[in-house]
Amino acid sequence: MNGEPERRTGPVPKSVLARGLRLLDAFGSGDAELTLAQLAARTGLPKPTAHRLLGELVRWGGVERTAGGYRLSMRLFVLGQRAPRPRGLREAALPYLEDLYEATHENIHLAVLDGVDTLFLEKVTGRRAMPIVSRVGGRLPAYCTATGKLFLALGPADRLRQVLAAGLAHYTPRTIVMPGLLRRELDRTLERGYALNREESEAGVSAIAAPIIDADGGVTAAISITGSSRRLDLERLAPAVRTAARALSRELAR
Amino acid sequence: MNGEPERRTGPVPKSVLARGLRLLDAFGSGDAELTLAQLAARTGLPKPTAHRLLGELVRWGGVERTAGGYRLSMRLFVLGQRAPRPRGLREAALPYLEDLYEATHENIHLAVLDGVDTLFLEKVTGRRAMPIVSRVGGRLPAYCTATGKLFLALGPADRLRQVLAAGLAHYTPRTIVMPGLLRRELDRTLERGYALNREESEAGVSAIAAPIIDADGGVTAAISITGSSRRLDLERLAPAVRTAARALSRELAR
DNA sequence: CCGCCCGTTTCGGTGAATGGAATCCCGCGC
DNA sequence: GCGCGGGATTCCATTCACCGAAACGGGCGG
C-alpha cells in the first residue's frame, strides 16, 4: 500500500532497550524525518510506546523533534565518529585519497565489506567529478562494484557463496548476474590484482579499485576511482590506485 | 585515583533506555575500548546491570566485544551518517573544501557551533598539511578558534555571555582569556567579516575562517584554513576562504 | 458539520528489569 | 602449588518501570 519498505526484522523485542534502538534503526537513509505513526508502523510498536520511547531518545539528544516529526540528530553523528574501527582507517587513508583526487578530480572511495555489501567509509569528490549515488555510510552489493569484487576475489571462498546465495540482481543492463560469469570476472580480478566495474552498478559510471592488505595478507578495505565511462581510461589509472593502496597497506601494517 | 575524567552527569536514570544510552555516551573519544568495570564505574550502573545492557547493545550491533572489553562499532558510524543535519551540509560543502585544499594543501575544516564549542563536521587534510589535533566529530572552545569566533561575533549577544560565564582558559600562552580583549577581538572580526586564530588553540598553529550565512542572515557554519603559523600568510588567504564561504552560502540558500 | 487520522495522556495490571550475593576465572605473588 | 584480588558472569526473589487499550483533543478535508 505505502511505498515504505518493510523494515521489520522478526518480532517486536520485549526489552525496552532493544525497542528504543529499533526506533533508531527505523530511520532509513532515504527519510529525512518521520512521523510518530510511521515510526510506530515500521517498528511494530504500539503508538503510545513509540511515543514514550521517542520522548526519551529526544531527551538523550540522539533524536530531535521537528515540526511534525522526528529525525536523527547531530549528536548521533558525533557518537558514530567515535567508533574506533572506521576512524583509524579513515584518518590513515585520507591523505592517499586526497592525492588520488588531486591527480584525477574524480570520485575517490574508501570501502570495506559489510555482509554481502560494499560499505563506503569515505568519499572524496568535487565539482569536476561526475555526480554518483554513493554516500559515506551507504552501501552497494559487492558483486557489482569495483571495491566489492576485491573482497570477493581475494577473500575466503565462503564469501562468494553467501553472495550467490543472496542472489544477483540487475542494477544496470551490464550487471553481471550469471554466477559463472561472475566467477570468471573474479578470477581475472585476482590475477590482475585490481578490479573493474564497467557500468555494472550505475549506467554511464565505471570504476577501478585496488585492495588494502593487512599484515596477514587479508583484504581489509579497498580504494577506488569512479567516474564517467566516457571520460575514464581505467587501465591508465591502474598504477595510481595500486600505488596508493600499497602505500596505505604498508602504513597500516606498521 | 584513576585518570578517567568524571563523566557522570547527574544521578543514574531509572529508565532502561536512558541507562543503555548512557553506556554509549560513556565511550569518550580518547578510549578505543573499555572494560565492563570501567563502563560500570563511569555510568554509575551496578556491574550486573551494565553487563546485561551491554549484552543487548552488542546483540543490536552498535557495540562490539573485543578480547577483554567493549568498543563502539561501525554500525554506529553508519547510523550517525544518516543524521540529516550534518549530512546535507557536509555534502554541499565538500567540493568547496576540496578546492581550498587543492589551492593551499593545508588543513580545511567545516565547523558548526554546538553549545559553547566549535564542532568539526569535516576535515580535509593531506600529507603536506601540518598535523593538528582536530578531528571530525571533535570540538574546541569557540573563543579560541577561528571558526568559533565567527559564531560569537556574528551570533546573538547571548552566546558570548554563555561563553564568558563558562570561563576562559589558557590553551596556549596566546589564548585570549580577558573578556575585554575577547570582545575587542570579536568586534574586529565582525567588521572584517572573517576571523583569525593566531596560536590561540595550539602552539605554532594559526587559522583563518569565513562564515556560512543562511537566507535569514544567521551564521550556520564556518569554514577555515589551518596550518603552521610560520608557513601561513593568513591575510593572503582571506579572499579564497571568503569566496568559498560566500559561494557555499549562496548554494545552501537556494 | 462530521469523520478521519494524527498525536497525546491516562492508569491499573504485570512481567521485565533489578542488583546483592554467590560463583567462576584468570593472573600474580609468595 | 596455593591463596588472593579483581574482574566477569550467573542466579533469582522482589518490585517497580513499563505497558498499551482506551479515551481524549485537535487539525484537516470533504
Q: Which nucleotide's C1' sits nearest to the alpha carbon of B15?
A: D17
pLDDT class for B168, splitting at 50, 70, 90?
very high
For residue B78, give the nearest of A32, A57, A137 by CB distance: A137
Write phi, then psi, for A213 (nearest 5 degrees): -115, 135
The mean pLDDT value for A132-142 works out to 97
pLDDT class for B147, splitting at 50, 70, 90?
very high
- Give the CB-side neighbour count of residue B28, counting CA atoms within 13 A: 13
At B11 the pLDDT is 86
Burial of A254 (0-12, 13-18, 19+ CB in 10 A): exposed
Give me the CA B19–C1' C11 separation in Å, rounded.
25
Kindly report the number of other CB atoms within 10 A of residue A134's CB atom. 24
Cβ–Cβ under 8 Å, residues A209 and A221: no
Q: Over pLDDT 90: what percentage of chain B?
A: 93
Cβ–Cβ under 8 Å, residues A70 and A63: yes
Least confident of A208-212, B29-33, B108-112: B29-33
How close is the nearest chain A Cα to the Cα of B203, in Å?
22
pLDDT class for A9, splitting at 50, 70, 90?
low
Residues in chain B: 254
| B76 Cβ contacts chain C strand, under 7 Å | no
pLDDT, one tens digit per residue, over A157-177 is 999 999 999 999 999 999 999
- For chain A, list the domains and their CATH numbers: 16-80 (1.10.10.10), 83-253 (3.30.450.40)
In chain B the first and final C-alpha atoms are separated, in Å, by 55
Cβ–Cβ under 8 Å, residues A34 and A26: yes
Query: Chain A within 8 Å of B16 (Cβ-Cβ)?
Result: yes
The mean pLDDT value for B59-72 works out to 96
Determine how β-strand A219-228 pairs with β-strand A69-72. unpaired
pLDDT class for B236, splitting at 50, 70, 90?
very high
The mean pLDDT value for A222-246 works out to 97
Q: Is the model's pLDDT at A37 over the cut of 50?
A: yes
**CA B40 – CA B203 distance, rounded (Å):** 37
pLDDT class for A135, splitting at 50, 70, 90?
very high
Q: Higher model confidence: residue A4 or residue B139?
A: B139
The mean pLDDT value for B160-184 works out to 97
* Interface-testing mutation among A58, A60, A66, A77, with chain B (most B C-beta atoms within 10 A): A77
Q: In chain A, which ranges are continuous DSSP H helix?
A: 16-26, 36-43, 47-60, 74-81, 84-104, 146-154, 157-166, 179-192, 234-253
Give me the CA B136–C1' C6 separation in Å, rounded.
39
Q: Which three cell numbers stand for residue A215?
A: 599484515
Interface predicted TM-score (ipTM): 0.94
pLDDT class for B31, splitting at 50, 70, 90?
confident
Which of A54, A25, A26 minimizes the C-alpha distance to A41?
A26
Q: What is the DSSP letter of B124?
A: E
Q: Over pLDDT 70: what percentage of chain B?
A: 96
Chain A residues whose CB is inside 8 A of the B115 CB are none
At B5 the pLDDT is 39
At B1 the pLDDT is 34
Q: Is the model's pLDDT at B33 over the cut of 60?
A: yes
The mean pLDDT value for A209-218 works out to 96
